[in-house]
Structure 1
Amino acid sequence: MNQKQRAIFVLSILMLGNAQAAPPEWPAITRQDVEFAAQTLAGKHIGAVAGHLHVTEPLKNGLPVALAEAAVARDEQDYLRTISRFIYGFGDPHTGINLQLKRSGWTGLVIDRVNGQFRVIWSEKKWPNPLPEQGAAVQSCDGVWLGTYLQTRVMPYQSHAPEYSTSMSEAARSMMFERGLGIAPKRCVFKLADGRTQEFPLPMHALQDSGNISEKHILEVRKTYVAVARDVGVYALGKSMYWVGMPSFGVTDEGKAFEKVYARLEKLKQDKWIIFDLRGNGGGDSNWGTRALTALFGENYSDQLTEMGGHAKFMVASKESIAWAKTYAADPNFAASKPMFDAMIPKLEAALAAGKNTALISGDEKQSPQALLAALPPKPAGPRIAAVIDRNCFSSCMNFLQQIKAIPGNVVLGESTLGYSPYGEIDRFKLPSERGYIYIPAAYYMVAEAAREPFVPGFPYSGNMADDSKLMSWVEEVLRGMK
């Protein structure tokens, strides 16, 4: 079946399920936003401009389906589902969408994948309707096995692509909440602790301002299973071992907390282990991580390590890229990287004036990452490095992790990440309907890792990554047991 036939087939199926004619405004609104998103991706996404397979194929195959869905959009939910499915079809959080969706309802449960089985990890005690107890195994929802339900009903609306080890877990965690997409099941069958099987209706209850059906309460519940690194700082972990919290590289205090970390690390060069806690670090300016290595091993060595996170960098040559660079060059929270932004602006301007689609911003595109790694000098005297990662270590966090992995004797612990995205420098574009924004990367980094390849820890942790006490004790035990 070719592309045109597939689009006609999808449209036919959708029209069969819509007996009433769609109101004319929603097909028009949906189509204009889908077409705008496709055109912007094609011209502004560095992967599309450079012809990268994992970008061009979702664009080519996803657009006909999205346009077919747009033609029969009946309401706002159809609009949200169509545009979300199209953008998340790229399977890369760097290519994102913000439709200002907020949680508006909850069934009272949180499901997760635990040791290969779907289980209830949170069950509200005071709830308007009966719920299965925490620990109950989920067998099916709305008549199908939960894995099938998640794959078909939930995963099209999240950026965690199906091939990653934590994707089913992420889908399960989000399925019992309402955010305008209508992904929650109406009823599920559970196997209870006593061996009985029971079906529970799962009506959605609207969020209130207080109590156990409130956004505040949900955020407290999330803290029990969504991992976030400790606050930016240095924490003693037994003798000659220090835990460094790095929850984000997107600073809001002009880097003052990180500056204190560097000053402390300067005094810890003779200690045995420095452990960087990167749980939940979704990125920002990777320079905040690199400077920690500078504090430990000196500027010359850390400068060479930075090439492990990208030995050449290309950007789309466009007025948007130039405006983006000027904005960040003027932002005090990115003052440490101002020279980098200042240097890229004239290169982008020259490429745009010459009619080029891309500009080489830094590095040597002919250089081999393997040769760079082989040429890396011996590690200066100093502590051994460990990194604790999880499913939400992404973007600049991965850049920092690439530098850590290049250091001999490193140790990586925790949970597998999403697949590596070789992109960065994200710009946003307002949708024509003004219902939100799409986010598109303008830069591409040449590195050793393949696009969408996950970082896998050498020491996987099977427990709850959000439980600081147990995780830190386990890390200390692993590291002290190493020669």
Structure 2
Amino acid sequence: MIGSLRRAFAAVALVVTLATPAFAQDAPTAPTTPEGWRDLALSDLAAARDVLTAQTPIPFDRDNPTYPAWLAEGYGQAEARARDARDAAGHFYALALYLNGFNDPHIDVNPVANLSTAQWPGFIAASRNGGALVVMRDENDADAPPIGAQILSCEGRTLASLAEERLYPFVLNGRLALDRRRGVTRLFLERSIPGAPAPSVCRIAVDGAERDITLRWRALPDPPESYWAAYQDASAGAAASWGVSEPTPGVTWIGIPTFSSGSETAPQLEQLIRDINARGDAMRNGRAIVIDVRGNGGGNSAWADRIAIAIFGEAPVQRANRVSSSSSGVDWRASPENIAYWREWLTSVAIPEFGANSEAVDFAEGAIQGMERALDRNPPLWRQGSPFVSRGGGLTQRRPRGEDAPFPARVYLLSNGTCGSSCLNFADTVLFVPGVQLIGSATAGDGPYMEVRNVTLPSGLAVLTIPQKVWRGMGRGALEAYEPDIAYDGAWDDASVRAWTMGLIAAQ
């Protein structure tokens, strides 16, 4: 939204979750028989396919043929699994197989309630140095492996191959660095995926001595809060804390855990911009600026643009956007439901948060008008932007190198791997300002689909995330991520990450 087509097309990616039910429904009622769960799985799966067919660009996407192919082929695979559903887990994971099979972060399904009681084997594992380490154990279990034990394999197989077979078809995405890290931890959390059992026997190494252990699955500690905190630290790690701070003289730390619009987050983002502006040249002439986007999975790019300008100034941001932009366009799927979504977003988000004369309002009104014109077309797509687009891909390899930074302070973009969608658009700007270093983990990667909204399935027991448009000539290829200039492979709890970052600043 700073004179760049790339920014305009991603202006409100992952904006907010508005209530967008596709089907009239009462409060969800769970089946009481195995046959009831089977029938519900089949009907919800058919509804999911119908929504994707009627409300997304997927059926007409010749540029990304794997999407329409999976729309049909994946449905057949998921239908076979749905016929075997006998409980809530069978119902949900049949849907998950279908939606996760698109391998796109903007196509997803989530249960409304917990599926089953989680279990653990008496320890939590974390990815370290290409392997896995025990980072928490049940202190009441003398047989639980000690903290620091290496997990070498399970059932005679590598952890990576187990995750590929038993996790990635249903949850996570093995092509993303964060999800590979999460996958190690997730293998040792039993969630009753039908046909994908948790490991039963693993080989570990303690002080160089190897031995096999039999995993004894049990209920989580009671209360479970300490377990879930340790689980989060072991996988994704802590999210950034809101605000601007100065951990040591000359170092400014800017925490941005989300760009999402909302009644709680919008005031926090506005305050963050005020606090950054208040530091201004003193911050830019200091020793270092840390832009902490741990936990940030996107939101509204209008906020991202304003924060980038507050940090760097308008001229460096405009230059960065010119360098990282390409000839591109997007195809919107015209449907009554998508148009209704944007009408609601216009009145509930755009005008209250950005004002009646804002670019966000112009964006929403343009989308509504464009889709209305395309409703009766065949195919029902509205092209926004250039009809002629560049090939796309490879943007992450074109960052500026060897150019002078715009001001004295060193700038670090701190990632734990969650940075996708509008956060990834933010990275497209920040990492094209000369001198900025990406530290920590690789970013996430986006597929070509975006601008999501939620749709509740007829059962009321699961909610789809569906995209409304597809990007043509996208600068980053599908799931293309920025690799870190300086990688971190330690513990991802907040204290450890902050200590490592401050040590890095001191060393440079």
With the length of structure 1 as denominator, give the TM-score of the two structures: 0.82
Contact kept in structure 1, 2:108 and 2:464, CA below 8 Å: yes
Q: Distance between the aligned counterparts of 1:422 and 1:328, measured in 2?
A: 22
- Residue matched to 1:288: 303
Q: Is the Cα contact below 8 Å between 2:406 and 2:434 reproduced in 1? A: no
Q: 2:375 maps to which residue? A: 352
Are 2:366 and 1:366 aligned?
Answer: no
Moved over 6 A (4+): 377-380
Spell out, residue by residue over 1:382-436, the C-alpha distance to the aligned partner (whole angstroms, 9 max, x if none).
8553211122112111111111122222211111133333332212222233321
Post-superposition Cα deviations, 1:364-398, rounded to whole Å, max 9, x if no partner, equal 3536589x999xx9986685532111221121111
Higher relative contact order (CA 8 A, sep 6+): 2
Quote the Cα distance in structure 2 between the aligned partners of 1:382 and 1:351: 50
Q: CA deviation at 1:180?
A: 4.2
Deviation sequence 1:254-299 (CA, Å, 0-9, x none)? 5222222222322323424332101111111122221012224444
Contact 1:97 1:437 in 2 (8 A): yes
Q: Is the 8 A contact 2:260 2:266 kept in 1?
A: no
* Structure 2 residue ranges without an equivalent (≥5): 1-32, 355-359
Question: How big is the shift at 1:460?
Answer: 1.2
Q: Are 1:463 and 2:472 an aligned pair?
A: no
What whole-Å deviation, never above 9, does each CA across 1:198-229 have from its counterpart, x for those lacking one?
32331232x5xxxx333323232235333233
CA–CA distance in structure 2, aligned partners of residues 383 and 126 of structure 1: 50
2:146 is matched with which residue: 111, 133, 137? 133
The equivalent residue for 2:334 is 317
**Secondary structure in 2 matching 1:72:** coil
1:216-262: CA deviation from partner (whole Å, max 9, x where unpaired): 23232235333233322111143433111011112442522222222
2:132 is equivalent to residue 118 of structure 1:
yes
For residues 89-108 of structure 1, the aligned pairs below 5 Å read 89-102=101-114, 104-107=117-120, 108=122
Contact 2:154/2:199 (<8 A) preserved: yes
Query: In the TM superposition, what is the alpha-carbon distance from 1:88 to its structure 2 partner?
Result: 1.2
Relative to 1, partners in 2 of residues 1:190 and 1:475: Cα closer, same or farther, differing over 3 Å?
Answer: closer
Q: Is the CA contact (8 Å cut-off) linking 1:395 and 1:421 kept in structure 2?
A: no
Distance 1:452 1:54 in 2: 14
State the SS of the aligned residue for 2:280: coil
| Alignment counterpart, residue 200 of structure 1, candidates 210, 214, 223 | 214
- Aligned equivalent of 2:169: 156
Aligned mates of 2:462, 2:84 — CA distance in 1? 21
Q: 1:116 to 1:380 in 2, by over 3 A?
A: closer
Once the two structures are superposed, residues 416-469 of structure 1 have per-residue CA deviations (whole angstroms, 9 ceiling, x without a partner) of 133333332212222233321111111233431111112211111122233x34
Q: How does 1:6-405 map to 2 (within 5 A)?
A: 24-51=35-62, 52-102=64-114, 104-107=117-120, 108-127=122-141, 130-142=143-155, 144-160=157-173, 162-181=174-193, 183-193=197-207, 195-205=209-219, 207=220, 212-225=221-234, 226-252=236-262, 253=264, 255-266=266-277, 267-269=279-281, 270-272=284-286, 273-299=288-314, 302=317, 308=324, 312-332=329-349, 335-336=353-354, 337-354=360-377, 356-361=379-384, 363-366=385-388, 368=390, 385-405=411-431
Matched pairs, number: 450
| CA deviation after TM superposition for structure 1 residue 340, in Å | 2.2
**3-state SS of paired residue (1:268):** helix
Is the 8 Å Cα contact of residues 242 and 275 (structure 1) preserved in structure 2? yes
Distance 1:154 1:36, change over 3 A: same
Q: Determine which of 447, 451, 456 is the counterpart of 2:478.
A: 451
Report the more deviating stretch, 230-239 or 317-326: 230-239
Structure 1: give runs of 5+ residues left out of the alignment. 1-21
Structure 2 letter corresponding to 1:448: G
Partner of 2:146, secondary structure, is coil
Amino acid at match of 2:54: G
C-alpha distance 367-288 of structure 1, shift in aligned 2 (>3 A):
same
Measured at CA, do residues 81 and 305 of structure 1 come closer, stay the same or move farther in structure 2, by a change above 3 Å? same
TM-score under structure 2 normalisation?
0.78
Aligned to 2:29: none
Give aligned-pair identity as a percent. 22
Tell me the distance in 2 between the aligned counterparts of 1:192 and 1:422.
45
Answer whether contact 2:85 2:91 (CA < 8 A) is retained: yes
State the Cα deviation string for residues 93-152 of structure 1 (Å, max 9, x = none). 21110113536222232122211222222212135x731112222244345443333222
Contact 1:386 1:410 in 2 (8 A): yes
Q: CA deviation at 1:156?
A: 1.8
Supply the distance in 2 between the matched residues of 1:220 and 1:296 (Cα, whole angstroms).
Answer: 32
Q: Quick check: 307-316 or 450-459, which moved more?
A: 307-316
Note the alpha carbon deviations across 1:329-357, whole angstroms, 9 max, x for none. Answer: 22348723334223322222222255552
The amino acid that maps onto 1:464 is A
2:468 corresponds to 1:442: yes
Distance (whole Å) between structure 2 residues aligned to residue 254 and residue 248 of structure 1: 8
**Structure 1 pair 459–48 and aligned structure 2 pair: CA distance change class (3 A):** farther
- CA distance in 2 between counterparts of 1:23 and 1:91 reads 30
